[in-house]
Chain A
Amino acid sequence: MPAAVTTKQKSAWAIANVVAILYALFPVWWIVALSFKRTTDFTDRSFVPKAWTLDNYRTVFKTSEFTRALINSIGIALIATLLAVVLGTMAAYAVARLRFPGKSLLIGISLLIAMFPPISLVSPLFGIERSLHLFDTWPGLIIPYLTFSLPLAIYTLSAFFREIPWDLEKAAKIDGATPYQAFRQVIVPLAAPGVVTTAILVFIFCWNDFLFAISLTSTTNSRTVPAALAFFTGSSQFEDPTGSISAAAVVITVPIIVFVLFFQRRIVAGLTSGAVKG
């Protein structure tokens, strides 16, 4: 931006910033507020708890069911993300840059899978995974997550790759680099911002999934947080599930916030400066 930013403009941006932050946070604040309310205060309908208590958190952490689900969620989502980003980057590079027969077939397959309603894959996958002994295991969820996040990874990454200054790659090839060396040493650093963004999209996708988590798991072996959360609703061991649900919802939001804070730096540095200046 040029130096001509006036005080008036500054305050306009500041107000817009505050509005955006409030927009993003007020439903989150609400579930936090609810989680700190006493059981007797749930029906007071106030936005701020009258008295703060940790009772709901004690209740939710008393069951190992929830803590196990947290570990399952983190492990499954991280492994699926890593795999999807590696395979997606390779394929997206080929789609964006290389000439080879069968490219439109790859695009077609990805599109089909991106479009296919997960719900219709749930019942056949249920049967298949049981016969392969993958039902209710980590790989049993990692495999469908990987499959469904690959199209997202490939599209997002190839959109990025199309905008990268490819002359640099040409220059590397003129200097005698093989296509692989051009890929590894020139393109990968340029593509890093896109890869980071993609990794975030994929992780969130896996972390979020509800339908597969609830259909392809049956025990704490592999049940992830969203599925565990939904089970609080019908559980008879909590008289009123409101407190447990809100506390559990806050707890499972914490890893997301940590993740976001950790990668936010990369996104700011990567996306705003652009690949050329990097």
Chain B
Amino acid sequence: MSQAVEAPVATETPVRPKKAPLSEGARAERRLGWLLCAPAVIVMVAVTAYPVIYAIYLSLRRYDLRFPSQSKFVGLANYGAVLSSTFWWKAFLTTLIITVVSVLIELVLGILLALLMHRTVFGKGAVRTALLIPYGIVTVAASFSWYYAWNSSTGYLAALLPTGSAPLTNKWESIFIIIGAEVWKTTPFMALLLLAGLALVPDELLNAARVDGATAWQRFARVMLPLMKPAILVALLFRTLDAFRIFDNIYVLTKGANDTRSVSILGYDNLFGALNLGIGSAVSVLIFLCVTIIAALFIKGFGTAAPGSDTDGRR
């Protein structure tokens, strides 16, 4: 997002871009650009702008659905209440741990699976089809599979543990199980996006590197990875943002018991459990701010390869 709006014609002219005459082609290009983007922009703005503003507005009010008559503007008091409570910080830490650990595991596994799908000699179709299943399966359905697997009365995985252990009733074991469920479910998403990047690496380049004596690792690290950078960025960005908002898996596996609440579960509990729209919206806005910071770090870290920067978009 660092680039300024481009001057439509030759940039070396000191004249203000708007006064410079547009060529016929440039004008057509502008029109087409606007035309192509308009439907998407209209839908996105129309469906989110008002609710977003409304959510921010709610976060500045005392608004408890059980006591609607006491609703009034309280400034930043809801934020103060949230940020000074241990619930928020515990949930924040839990979410952070789940996000970092699961996304790192997913990236490594995802690259391995993408390489496997890309390079394997036979059985390609079977591997791809199999991997698309965890990716496609409804999160809630998969969560129930893990829930019954680790449940001490029904589970085959719980049966492998020492007698009497109930992993879903302990904090760290539950978090381990949540991360496992998350990794299993979303690694194929990662792998699929990375495979798309891998498919764009020309065989000729790899063969040339091979002829030049590059080892398999060098071909991977020096040739494949740089060319895959846009795909890796998209995959990492979306997975990190998504993992930070983790909801379904925790909802099914523990319902947030034993300090396994994520920030989204905390927000949900305040919105629909305690019916406190003010506090719940403040939590939601805080989640949004966290996520903004994560995204900003990503885009800074990846520089011009970030989606949206068009410095290398055309030649």
Chain A interface residues toward B at CB < 8 A? 1-2, 5, 9-10, 13-14, 16-17, 20-21, 23-25, 27-28, 30-31, 34, 42-43, 45-47, 87-88, 90-91, 93-104, 106-125, 127-128, 143-144, 146-147, 150-152, 154-156, 158-160, 162-163, 166, 178-180, 183, 193-194, 197, 200-201, 204, 207-208, 210-211, 215, 225-226, 229-230, 242, 245-246, 248-249, 252-253, 256-257, 259-261, 264, 267-268, 271-274
| Chain B positions 31 through 57: 1 when the CB is less than 8 Å from some CB of chain A, otherwise 0 | 011101101110111011011101100
By Cβ-Cβ distance, the 5 closest A-B pairs, closest first, are A120-B284, A100-B33, A107-B308, A249-B141, A124-B51
Residues of A within 8 A of B51 (CB): 121, 124-125, 128
12 more CB-based (< 8 A) A-B contacts, given A27-B184, A116-B288, A155-B234: A34-B148, A101-B5, A155-B238, A159-B196, A159-B230, A162-B230, A200-B136, A201-B192, A210-B247, A226-B248, A268-B128, A274-B200
At the interface, yes or no: B82 with Cβ under 8 Å from chain A? no
In the assembled complex, how far is the CB of residue A93 from the closest CB belonging to chain B, in whole angstroms?
6
In residues 172-194 of chain B, which contact A (Cβ within 8 Å)?
184, 188-189, 192-193
Contact B291–A99 (Cβ < 8 Å): no
Contact B138–A109 (Cβ < 8 Å): no
In the assembled complex, how far is the CB of residue A126 from the closest CB belonging to chain B, in whole angstroms?
9
In the assembled complex, how far is the CB of residue A191 from the closest CB belonging to chain B, in whole angstroms?
12
In the assembled complex, how far is the CB of residue A25 from the closest CB belonging to chain B, in whole angstroms?
6
Among A17, A107, A110, A211, the most chain B Cβ lie within 10 Å of the Cβ of A17
Contact A17–B34 (Cβ < 8 Å): no
Known: A159-B231, A179-B29, A272-B118. A207 touches B44 (CB 8 A): no
Q: Which residue of A lies closest to B142 (CB)?
A: A27
Residues of A within 8 A of B195 (CB): 271
The interface residues of chain A, by DSSP majority, are classed as: helix
Residues of A within 8 A of B153 (CB): 42-43, 45
Chain B interface residues toward A at CB < 8 A? 1, 3, 5-6, 8, 25-26, 28-30, 32-34, 36-37, 39-41, 43-45, 47-48, 50-52, 54-55, 58, 113, 116, 118-142, 144-146, 148-149, 153-156, 158-159, 184, 188-189, 192-193, 195-197, 199-200, 202, 207, 230-231, 233-234, 237-238, 241, 245, 247-248, 251-252, 264, 267-268, 271-272, 277, 280-281, 284-285, 287-288, 291-292, 295, 307-308, 310, 312-315
Cα(A261)–Cα(B136), bound, Å: 11
The interface residues of chain B, by DSSP majority, are classed as: helix
Residues of B within 8 A of A110 (CB): 40, 44, 308
Q: Which residue of B lies closest to A146 (CB)?
A: B43
Contact B128–A87 (Cβ < 8 Å): no
A/B interface sample: 17 pairs, CB < 8 A = A13-B119, A34-B154, A42-B154, A100-B32, A101-B30, A115-B295, A119-B245, A119-B284, A124-B51, A156-B234, A162-B230, A179-B25, A193-B196, A210-B140, A210-B248, A215-B272, A226-B139
